[in-house]
Amino acid sequence: MPETIPPSTETVRELALSSLRRIGVVLPEGEGLHARTPITGETLFRLAATTAEEADLAVSDAVGAFETWRTTPAPARGVLVRRLGELLREHKNDLADLVTIEAGKIRSEALGEIQEMIDICEFAVGLSRQLYGRTIASERPGHRLAETWHPLGVVGVISAFNFPAAVWSWNTAVALVCGDTVVWKPSELTPLISLACSHLLDRAAADTGVPRDVHRLVLAGRDIGEMLVEDPRVALVSATGSTRMGRAIGPKVAARFGRTLLELGGNNASIVAPSADLDLALSGIVFAAAGTAGQRCTTLRRLIVHRDIADEMVDRVVAAYRKLPIGDPFSDSTLVGPLISRVAADAMTQALARAEAEGGKVLVGGDSRLSEEAPHASYVAPAVVRMPEQTAVVLEETFAPILYVLTYEDLDEAIALNNAVPQGLSSSIFTLDQREAERFLAADGSDCGISNVNIGTSGAEIGGAFGGEKETGGGRESGSDSWRAYMRRATNTVNYSSTLTLAQNVSFL
């Protein structure tokens, strides 16, 4: 497998400084946070973390800004988001560099992440004129029954390292046009891109005459995330990250009758049926399983192949894996960049050992790479493991590039395997048989929030609602009618007659 040598920490630091300078970010130097790059595994800058007092003030400021923002007409709120989209487009390359530097994404995927942000801004601007309520037929003469949608308040956005910018924009662009204000607690692993995004939104606010406090960034670890979770002034906590995190925060927000929008871990599968176009399936599988070094919530983690084609399909996947270029995410020839940390690499090693103990056979990958050139970084070869059945380790999300292969005989069995994990984010089937495709998409088919046909599990478009069921948390972000999660509904009955008629023919007085 070819390797591309990563640049030095000094080179990465210079690149980060140039991008930040062009965007206009001044780094808050101090203590509490390390801006680190997985490319070399070393620290680039030491930054001041937001204190508890500052975070408290950020929420107060966002509460204050909500007072005027909620009555600003929605199309006027869209003007702010349109300006943000323009600035993101202008700084697309610089922002993508920061995503590569902090999350380790290869260039094409980092650019894709910024494009996704531009797309959601465009979507949200359109949405700012389409926050529709319904008019409902009233049972009473001379009455109008309708529903209206109003802003919720402050939205606390807690985000994960692996989509350090896009997930923020999914939430923020939609929340802002809905009339909410936002306090963002990004992953402590990605402070630079967070500073850059927040700075561009501040600039957009200044350019459009909007109070800066409609959005506040708190740059800190999970302690400040916990503050947002406990704070009754935060109407909605939209949290993206591990199921462990969601399990910790969900009950706390529920206990104060706040709202949550949870986007948690996935354990995604693709079924490959005998009729499948295997060339198409191969491309879809390799991108979904090895792309982003297996660090997408929608990464393909389980391949469920029909017994008759399993050997051929697996041989082809293994052959493709042997050719995957690993290393410098800035190099155009690299397809697999670094894992975020040593902890992630250790989790992968442990999962592979468990898979072998549970009867699996590692067919390719799992070994670490570039240990001499970048001793503090974690480059690993994506692994394919053939499993005798869906054992305990396969039921867990290991956030690293491990593809478990299972076989099936009939489609019901394959769908049962797809659904027999605690998570329910993404799924797909490769088949040219329409009956199989429709069966997979039916009510007794895949139980996931995302079910695809003839593409892989990852790489969603912003126009659709994004999210999943079961331990994935049940939330929906991004497109379709996800905006409703950021607003409250009021049902209005207007009596324009001169008599007071009671519903259900009740008589009184």
- Tell me which residues touch ligand NAD (CB under 6 A): 158-163, 167, 185, 187-188, 221-222, 225-226, 229, 240-242, 245, 248-249, 263-266, 297, 397, 399, 425, 472
Instruction: Give the C-alpha separation, 355 to 40, whole Å.
Output: 29
DSSP class per residue in 410-430: SHHHHHHHHH-SSEESEEEEE
> Cα angle at 472 between 469 and 476, to 5 degrees?
65
In sequence order, the β-bridge partners of residue 430 are 272
The H or E element that residue 442 is part of is none
- CA 471, 475, 478, 481 dihedral sign is positive
Catalytic residues: 263, 297
Query: What are the CA-CA distances from residue 74 to residues 132, 204, 310, 354 (Å)?
Result: 11, 16, 53, 53
Q: In the complex, what is the shortest distance from the CB of residue 223 to ligand NAD, in angstroms, rounded to a whole number?
A: 8
**Cβ partners under 8 Å of residue 417, min gap 6:** 269, 302, 304, 390, 406, 408
Q: Report the residue number, 138 or 242, with the smaller CB distance to ligand NAD.
A: 242
Q: Report the residue number, 28 or 221, with the smaller CB distance to ligand NAD.
A: 221
Q: In the complex, what is the shortest distance from the CB of residue 391 to ligand NAD, in angstroms, rounded to a whole number?
A: 20
Q: Report the residue number, 341 or 431, with the smaller CB distance to ligand NAD.
A: 341
Q: In the complex, what is the shortest distance from the CB of residue 267 to ligand NAD, in angstroms, rounded to a whole number?
A: 9
> Cα angle at 278 between 320 and 290, to 5 degrees?
35
The two tokens of residue 189 are: 């692993």
Please name which of 105, 55, 84 lies closest in space to residue 196, comparing C-alpha atoms.
Answer: 84
**CB neighbourhood size of 347 (10 A):** 18
Q: In the complex, what is the shortest distance from the CB of residue 315 to ligand NAD, in angstroms, rounded to a whole number?
A: 29
Q: Report the residue number, 9 or 398, with the smaller CB distance to ligand NAD.
A: 398
Q: Report the residue number, 131 or 158, with the smaller CB distance to ligand NAD.
A: 158
Q: Report the residue number, 248 or 363, with the smaller CB distance to ligand NAD.
A: 248
Q: Report the residue number, 321 or 399, with the smaller CB distance to ligand NAD.
A: 399
In sequence order, the β-bridge partners of residue 261 are 238
| Contact between residue 150 and residue 488 where contact means Cβ atoms under 8 Å apart | yes
Q: In the complex, what is the shortest distance from the CB of residue 376 to ligand NAD, in angstroms, rounded to a whole number?
A: 19
Q: In the complex, what is the shortest distance from the CB of residue 340 to ligand NAD, in angstroms, rounded to a whole number?
A: 7
User: How many Cα atoms occupy the beta-carbon half-sphere of 278 within 13 Å?
Assistant: 14
Q: In the complex, what is the shortest distance from the CB of residue 343 to ligand NAD, in angstroms, rounded to a whole number?
A: 9
> Strand pairing of 402-408 and 383-386?
parallel
The two tokens of residue 175 are: 């929340």
Q: Report the residue number, 99 or 131, with the smaller CB distance to ligand NAD.
A: 99
Q: In the complex, what is the shortest distance from the CB of residue 261 to ligand NAD, in angstroms, rounded to a whole number?
A: 10
Chain centroid to Cα 434, Å, comes to 30
**Cβ partners under 8 Å of residue 408, min gap 6:** 271, 304, 305, 306, 307, 414, 417
Q: Report the residue number, 248 or 280, with the smaller CB distance to ligand NAD.
A: 248
The dihedral over CA atoms of 179, 185, 191, 193, expressed in degrees to the nearest 10, equals: -30
Instruction: Give the C-alpha separation, 475 to 450, whole Å.
Output: 12
In sequence order, the β-bridge partners of residue 487 are 151
Instruction: Give the C-alpha separation, 66 to 151, whole Å.
Output: 9
| Contact between residue 128 and residue 117 where contact means Cβ atoms under 8 Å apart | no
Query: What are the CA-CA distances from residue 110 to residues 107, 328, 508 (Å)?
Result: 5, 13, 66
Q: In the complex, what is the shortest distance from the CB of residue 106 to ligand NAD, in angstroms, rounded to a whole number?
A: 17
Answer left, alpha or beta for residue 46, where phi above 0 means left and psi between -120 and 50 means alpha.
beta
Cβ burial, residue 233 (10 Å; 0-12/13-18/19+) = middle
Q: Report the residue number, 210 or 380, with the smaller CB distance to ligand NAD.
A: 380
